[in-house]
């Protein structure tokens, strides 16, 4: 089966960012699939081009058997209208190149299935149009609920004209997708309220490539370090509520716990403000680090004592969460402080750390101090429970089997050419 995946922000393991489609694609290739990913050459974290030479409009790269087609898109530095222009340029170029891709790069061939991943809905629109062109099955992967995420995060008003337009587009794509893959465990409830049949939705969450952690999961009690280190690794955006972590670090410092330090590794639009906030509070127990290529992240994670995952206090999380960082944390065999009010809470379910309410710096500080004061053997047991859980349910080899089953089921159904559907 020949599968194309349109993910604006897809990456390989040699740069910072998510590797979901690289990891799933690599395993599908081993199962006999052909996989091509159409992604932007403009790296949204590094804010620079990472693959294309000057003047090139696209390039083909084989990364462990997965074909990556890198598209030249409009550059941007800030999360303003230029980022929207970047989305539009990706969509236009994905459609324009995609329609002739099988002829100009015959080694790729024509797709049987095209998956559009909703990092933003325009990428899914491009996937839909290409599926019509090639008479391929159209599958929609829902990473974020658009526009509900924007509304609940305060980016758009519920009655904004753009919200109305995005809701119409969202429903249009739900109706025309042959299958919907959701990363969120309870997103089917939201989709069902829009009339989407629940049997059309398949849950395939984010995961982790455990092979990257082989030989790295040294027992926490065996690591010699001067301080108890708590790490946050991931995006520094509004949704990540890192103000809560900065305030928790202040509380820990005010209590005289010089033996506890915090490390924030990653990048994002909020990072300069968060760094300035830490300086204003004169925090000596916090360190900001640059993001690492995905292949180097495991070594950094196992060199710490515990992790923290913080969510904003918004109703959106009643549909569940599936952050990449959570599964990396679990793979590193360290306990987790989870501060959030989501419908699914792996930390409580698996007993692999401590939970705290959302938007409560004092509770986060208490949880961190409590973990630091536990015997190392108890923290190690928490970490091992998390590792066992992620190995059973979230290793990419497990998730790739689920994806393969979903795609192969399409061939067992009566094929209806997507070209018969109405255009947007």
**3-state secondary structure string across the chain:** CEEEEECCCCCCCCCCCCCHHHHHHHHHHHCCCEEEEEEECEECCCCEECCCCCCCCEEEEEECCEEEEEECCCCCCCCCHHHHHHHHHHHHHHHHHHHHHHHHCCCCCCCCEEEEECCCHHHHHHHHHHHHHHCCEEEEEECCCCCHHHHHCCCCCCCCHHHHHHHHHHHHHHHHCCEEEECCCCHHHHHHHCCCCHHHEEECCCCECHHHHCCCCCCHHHCCCCCEEEEEECCCCHHHCHHHHHHHHHHHHHCCCCCEEEEEECCCCCHHHHHHHHHHCCCCCEEEECCCCHHHHHHHHCCCCEEEEECCCCHHHHHCCCCHHHHHHHHCCCCEEEECCCCCCHHHHHCCEEEECCCCHHHHHHHHHHHHHCCHHHHHHHHHHHHHHHHHHCEHHHHHHHHHHHHHHHCCCCCCCHHHCCCC
Of 225, 310, 289, the closest CA to residue 259 belongs to: 225
pLDDT for 119: 86
pLDDT for 189: 97
pLDDT for 382: 98
Whether the CB-CB separation of 106 and 75 falls below 8 Å is answered with: no
pLDDT for 44: 86
Could you give the CA distance from residue 115 to residue 84 in angstroms, rounded to a whole number?
21
pLDDT for 225: 63
Which tokens belong to 347? 């930390």
pLDDT for 221: 44
CB atoms within 10 A of CB 264: 25
With a cut of 50, which residues of the chain have pLDDT below it? 219-222, 224, 414-424
- The domains of the chain, with CATH numbers, are 2-207+395-415 (3.40.50.2000), 210-393 (3.40.50.2000)
Could you give the CA distance from residue 327 to residue 280 in angstroms, rounded to a whole number?
33
pLDDT for 347: 97
Of 311, 292, 310, 312, the closest CA to residue 302 belongs to: 292
């Amino acid at each position: 089966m020949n599968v194309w995946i349109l993910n604006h922000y897809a990456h390989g393991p040699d740069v910072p960012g998510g590797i979901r489609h690289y990891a799933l694609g690599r395993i599908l290739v081993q199962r006999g699939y052909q996989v091509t990913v159409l992604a932007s050459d403009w790296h949204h974290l590094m804010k620079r081009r990472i693959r294309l030479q000057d003047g090139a409009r696209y390039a083909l790269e084989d990364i462990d058997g997965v074909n990556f087609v890198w598209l030249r898109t409009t550059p941007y530095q800030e999360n303003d209208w230029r980022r929207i222009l970047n989305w539009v340029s990706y969509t236009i170029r994905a459609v324009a190149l995609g329609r002739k891709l099988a002829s100009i790069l015959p080694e790729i061939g024509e797709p049987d299935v095209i998956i559009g991943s909703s990092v933003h809905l325009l990428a899914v629109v491009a996937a839909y149009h290409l599926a019509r062109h090639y008479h391929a099955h159209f599958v929609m992967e829902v990473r974020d609920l658009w526009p509900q995420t924007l509304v609940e995060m305060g980016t758009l008003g519920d009655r904004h004209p753009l919200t109305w337009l995005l809701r119409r587009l969202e429903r249009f794509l739900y109706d025309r997708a042959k299958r919907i893959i959701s990363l969120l465990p309870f997103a089917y409830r939201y989709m069902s309220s829009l009339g989407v049949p629940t049997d059309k939705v398949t849950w395939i969450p984010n995961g982790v490539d455990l092979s990257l952690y082989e030989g790295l999961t040294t027992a926490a009690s065996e690591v010699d370090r001067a301080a108890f280190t708590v790490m946050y690794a991931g995006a520094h955006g509004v949704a990540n509520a890192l103000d809560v972590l900065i305030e928790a670090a202040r509380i820990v410092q005010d209590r005289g716990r010089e033996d506890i330090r915090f490390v924030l590794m990653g990048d994002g639009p909020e990072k300069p403000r968060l760094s300035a906030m830490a300086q204003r509070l004169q925090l000596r127990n916090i360190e900001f680090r640059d993001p690492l290529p995905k292949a180097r992240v495991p070594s950094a994670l196992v060199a710490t004592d515990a992790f923290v995952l913080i969510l904003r206090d918004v109703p959106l999380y009643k549909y569940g969460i599936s952050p990449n960082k959570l599964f990396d944390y679990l793979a590193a065999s360290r306990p987790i402080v989870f501060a959030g009010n989501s419908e699914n809470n792996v930390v409580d379910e698996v007993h692999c750390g401590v939970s705290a309410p959302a938007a409560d710096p004092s509770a986060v500080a208490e949880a961190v101090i409590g973990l630091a004061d536990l015997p190392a053997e108890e923290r190690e047991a928490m970490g091992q429970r998390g590792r066992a859980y992620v190995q059973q349910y979230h290793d990419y080899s497990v998730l790739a089997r689920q994806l393969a089953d979903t795609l192969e089921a399409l061939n067992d159904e009566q094929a209806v050419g997507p070209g018969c559907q109405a255009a947007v």
